[in-house]
Structure 1
């Protein structure tokens, strides 16, 4: 998990939290849709907030366990990969 913290994730109240800034609204929504597909693939769903038209905040936790689990770590890594693959701007 230390590597996630080094890559911008924060641990807040037993949750992994990270903010992403996209170039515009369309790219932010596209990012959210790609995250949704990744979440469905591993059957683990984050809380997602779109704010200020191009900022996306992701919050990961395993609600049934009340803590961060391997699924959260796996999804966080996958989300970072999605974001990196979008970096053409």
Structure 2
């Protein structure tokens, strides 16, 4: 299989106390940049595991990017049909 195009997603994390925030940036070949944010908050009874907060925040930020891509694709299809 031949690769036609590649996408790069940057995800950065910020951790303060029991909160983990994730910010993501996706640059598409057409020049579009999609940005999204996600977060996770550790429950007081949960053990202090930084990795788990990052994974939850990352899952949420990637989900937000997916929704943004769906909206972009839908708008592009609607524009072609109009």
* TM-score computed with the length of structure 2 as normaliser: 0.37
Higher relative contact order (CA 8 A, sep 6+): 1
Structure with the larger strand share = 2
Structure with the larger helix share = 1
* TM-score computed with the length of structure 1 as normaliser: 0.35
